[in-house]
A and B are shown apart, each in its own frame.
Chain A
Amino acid sequence: MRPLSLKPLLALVVGVAAVAVFTGLPAILPPFYIRVLQVFFFSAGLALSWGLLGGFAGYWSFGHTAFIGIGGFTAALVSSHLLGGGGTGWGMVVTVGAGGLVAALFALVLAYPLLRLRGIYFAIAMLGVGEVFSELSSSIDWIGGGLGLTLPAGTDLDIAPEVFYYYVFLVLMVAILLISAATKLSRFGYGLMSIREDEDTARMLGVPTERYKIQAFVLSAFLVGTLGAVYAYSLGYFSTPSLFRVDFSLNMIVHNMIGGIGTIAGPVIGAAIMVFLTNVVLGSFLSVHLLLTGALVVLIVLLAPTGLLGLAARLWQRDPPEEEPTSPTRERERRLTNEPAE
């Protein structure tokens, strides 16, 4: 339809340049900044994974940290029970892969009942799921989240841990970025977006809504579980509160909102801004951390409800209504407060 735009080409150039820069950076950065960037890659990966379900399909999960926890605990349990405490090098690939798969498996079981809920009800039910898994992981002795679990070092190469995890998280983030972009452009992606816009109409157009929602949920959980497993490795020793953190769930949403929900670059931009702000700028104001994060969330919703990308788009190209505009927001509002689907 439109002439081949420069946008994909530009994205490719920027992307390759960014990866090249990030690959070289550890050689010159002090360890503190390497760790900050590592947190950024982790957070951006999480936000992108959340966006597959929340951004594309419009199902906002408030409890995605459940999958971080499931991924991390699975990796540690596989390491201690099946690998005799091993899990370094190729062993790490096995444990992390297991973390992602088990998270996906739980998502598959949860998907059928939970995805029948819509809007606020789904959001809160997921919050509940996060709480339940958190509590179970610390209360069931066999899992041992109360006392804590350990994982071996991820590699026996002669490399500083922060540099190693820097690269692992970088690779994962880039992979998830590519998966998200491919999804967005695919038939599957269009189907998910039509579900977000209006699920009943999507069904009427032949979109297999049930299957697509489940697939998006499972894929999202798999990626978050994988990230969670690597994160657990980077901690070495962890317990329930180090992985099942409500602020992880919240950050995934906030990063998407800041950048722009339903976009590819948005979650990454959002994560970059927030990680930089909270770790570098506000690093020394720990006592007012919550206050500032909360205030930022409020400001974004009030001032840029479509995120920074949406704001930029509005400033770039004015898109005046053809004549009398209709109000999709009202319509959406009605849908989001809807009773769950029959």
Chain B
Amino acid sequence: MDSDTILRGRGVSKQFRGLRALSDIEFDIPRGSICGLIGPNGAGKSTLFNLITGYYPLTSGTIEFNGARIDGLATTRISRIGIGRAFQIAKPFPDMTVYENVRVGALFGREGQRDVKEVVEQAMNLMGLSHLAQRKASSLTVGSLRKLEVARAVATRPELLLADEPCAGLNGTETAEMIECLRRVRDQGTTVWLVEHDMRAVMSISERVFVIDAGTKIAEGAPDVIVNDPRVIAAYLGAEPVA
């Protein structure tokens, strides 16, 4: 069981001055899975990802990656041990080409031997970006920017990819495409944890879904269980109909 859990959180809490942003969040992410993280705006989803990647320190609790504590490590270090992150607001390097952007990921990221050129090409292929390789990132559409954001994270060769709303701002076709891409990332052996607003997208792809609201976890389980959970329905009351 233990070696099947890639990321484990226990009592993860974050307090900003007076505001309790997250309290006592527990999670176990199975290796090789795609998991979902949902919750209303401001529930603390991005904050949780920021804690995992060492962007802020935890107020209390522990996070383990592959059985070793990672809370308290520097952001750079976390990337090096194999946790990648695609941001909610796509942040490609604007003055670099698509190729160069992905290359930064391949040159850095997880420690270990690799053929940089091959990693870059694989990541671009995977996300369907090869035909845009020599484009400046600043000339891309929102859809391509999102793909680039994920491609660059994939190029860091993470064991675990935290994808923060990769479908935000995409239309139906693009969303389906992105979901397909994430599935391919998983099939390559990378565990994916996904924050997403589009319930249909999350439910279609995730094996396990975590729901947080106002900083606490209110539900966890398989997608079909989650959609029928009364607490989740209450939290989302008035939101778009589920599934």
Contacts and interface: CB of A to CB of B under 8 A. Distances in A.
B118 to A, nearest CB: 11
Interface stretch (B34-42, B106-114, B178-186, B226-234): B106-114
B109 A201 contact: no
Interface in A26-47: none
Nearest to B124: A1
A29 B140 CA distance: 51
Given A1-B117, A190-B104, A193-B96, A206 B156 contact: yes
Interface in A1-59: 1-2
A187 interface: yes
A319 B98 CA distance: 13
Contact of B141 (A198, A319, A320, A323): A323
Contact of B156 (A200, A205, A208, A320): A205
Contacts of B95: 196-197, 262, 328
Q: How large is the interface on B (under 10, 10 to 19, 20 to 34, 35 or more residues)?
A: 35 or more
A257 to B, nearest CB: 15
Interface string A180-222: 0000000100110110111011111111110000000000000
A206 B15 CA distance: 26
Contact of B144 (A197, A200, A202, A322): A322
A319 B75 contact: no
Contacts of B117: 1
Contacts, number: 96
B121 to A, nearest CB: 7
A197 B139 contact: no
A190 B103 contact: yes
A198 B91 contact: yes
Given A204-B85, A206-B76, A322-B132, A328 B108 contact: no
Contacts of B133: 1-2
A205 B140 CA distance: 21
A319 B104 contact: no
Contacts of B153: 205
A187 B132 contact: no
B94 A328 contact: yes
Nearest to A209: B76
B145 A194 contact: no
A321 B145 CA distance: 12
Interface in B120-158: 120-121, 132-142, 144-145, 152-153, 156
A2 B121 CA distance: 11
Q: How large is the interface on A (under 10, 10 to 19, 20 to 34, 35 or more residues)?
A: 20 to 34
A325 interface: yes
B87 A201 contact: yes
B105 A205 contact: yes
Nearest to A208: B76
A320 B138 CA distance: 10
B79 interface: yes
Given A204-B53, A326-B145, A191 B138 contact: no
A190 to B, nearest CB: 5
B193 interface: no
B53 A322 contact: no
A24 B164 CA distance: 61
A262 B110 CA distance: 27
Contacts of B140: 321-322, 326
B195 to A, nearest CB: 15
A332 interface: yes
B139 A1 contact: no
Nearest to B91: A201
Given A1-B120, A190-B100, A194-B93, A206 B110 contact: yes
B80 interface: yes
A233 B117 CA distance: 47
A194 B104 contact: yes
A1 B121 contact: yes
A191 B141 contact: no
A203 B75 contact: yes
B99 interface: yes
A158 interface: no
Contacts of A200: 55, 91
21 contacts: A2-B133, A2-B134, A190-B100, A190-B103, A191-B104, A191-B108, A197-B96, A203-B75, A204-B53, A204-B55, A204-B79, A204-B87, A205-B109, A206-B108, A206-B110, A321-B139, A322-B132, A322-B139, A326-B145, A328-B94, A332-B94
The 3 closest A-B pairs by CB, nearest first: A328-B94, A206-B79, A197-B93
Interface of B: 53, 55, 74-76, 79-80, 85, 87, 91, 93-96, 99-100, 103-105, 107-110, 117, 120-121, 132-142, 144-145, 152-153, 156
